[in-house]
Amino acid sequence: MNTQIEQFSRPEEKPKYDVMNQLQSALPKLLLAPTMVITVVFIYGFIIWSAVLSFTKSKMLPNYNFVGFANYEKLFALDRWSVAYTNLIVFGFLFIIICMIVGTLLAVFLDQKIRFEGTLRTIYLYPMALSLIVTGTAWKWILNPDIGIQSVMRSLGFESFTFDWIIDPNMVVYTLVIAAVWQASGFVMALMLAGLRGVDSSIIKAAQIDGASTVRIYWRIILPILRPIYFSAFIILSHLAIKSFDLVMVLTAGGPGYSSDLPATFMYTYTFSRSQIGLGTASAMLTLMGFLALLIPYLYSELRSKK
């Protein structure tokens, strides 16, 4: 009798379980669907739209009269764009190199199991927790000749001391480097320190038994092992350098004149302040191409290593 009841009950319960299984498998897709749609429309969709506008005569409003590469030709003829791109090369190179060196030295220093390591690590990493607006404002005060370092040194009796880079067109780009390195070097330190703590201690002990000095162990063994971390830090720092906008606007506002412009500030100025949408989107596309030139080799190396 029980067997007959089970035979009659199973066909009725099976569809319920199928529906529940289908709902459970479809639930993650339903939850992710709005995010995917927003990402496709508001990121990739607007990238494509910006690329289209860069080939048009758009001024204050979008205008779909195509002019080919005229905006790009005009862009490269502008002295301001040449200054912005040159500044990006100088700023990006110094920013990345100095952050790498400072971050590595701080990580090696903390890796020696010193006292108050946690406190020092927090102090080094704290600037990364601040927004670039705060960083730019603080360094604008520090570098101001009237109230900053120059004023303090002269009040101490060094009347001939001069540190007016922030108002010197030839030196102002280096003030961006100083502020950016102060904020980002702690982040590189955290990456490197995590990598150092992951190195197999038996390798280090073997090198010490062979008579290798601490400096030689780090230079010949440990740092080469951290090559993937260096590459990841390079990509992240390159991304920060290319998209730098708020730091420039707060610290120098692109001045004096446009001597501290970067491509991001150039794009903002021509797109929104001068109502040159076609020219502004052309500069945005070139900036994107510069970032992709760094990102694609990284993705290729990652995919190849996994294979």
- Whether 114 is in a domain gets the answer yes
**pLDDT recorded at residue 266:** 92
Q: End-to-end distance of the chain based on CA atoms, in angstroms?
A: 59
Residue 96 and residue 236: Cα distance in Å, rounded? 9
Residue 141 lies in a domain: yes
Instruction: Say if 210 falls within a structural domain.
Output: yes
Q: How far apart are CA 135 and CA 138, in angstroms?
A: 5
Q: Is 128 left (phi over 0), alpha (psi -120 to 50) or beta?
A: alpha
Give the C-alpha separation, 78 to 73, whole Å: 9
Report the 10 Å Cβ neighbour count for 235: 17
Give the domain extent around 275: 79-306
Model pLDDT, residue 15: 57
pLDDT at 262: 93
pTM value is: 0.83
For residue 111, the one-letter residue type is D
Judge contact between 273 and 100, C-beta under 8 A. no
Residue 132 counted as domain residue: yes
pLDDT at 8: 46
Rounded CA separation 60/245 (Å) = 22
* 7 part of a folded domain: no
Label residue 54 exposed, middle or buried (CB < 10 Å: 0-12, 13-18, 19+): buried
pLDDT reported for residue 166: 93
Number of domains in the chain: 1
The CATH number covering residue 209 comes to 1.10.3720.10
Residue 1 lies in a domain: no
Q: Tens-of-pLDDT digits for all 307 residues of the chain?
A: 445 444 444 555 555 557 677 777 777 777 788 888 888 888 889 889 999 999 998 888 888 889 989 999 999 999 999 999 999 999 999 999 999 999 999 988 888 877 777 888 888 888 888 888 899 999 999 999 989 999 999 999 888 899 999 999 999 999 999 999 999 999 999 999 888 888 877 887 888 787 878 788 888 888 888 888 888 898 889 888 988 899 999 999 888 989 999 999 999 888 888 889 999 999 999 888 888 887 787 777 767 765 5
Does 17 map to a domain? no
Question: Residue 289: what pLDDT?
Answer: 87
The DSSP 8-state label assigned to residue 228 in this structure reads: H
| Residue 58 included in any domain | no
The helix (run of H) or strand (run of E) holding residue 135 is: helix 132-143
Give the separation between CA 139 and CA 176, rounded to whole angstroms. 9
DSSP state of 66: B
Determine the pLDDT at residue 2. 47
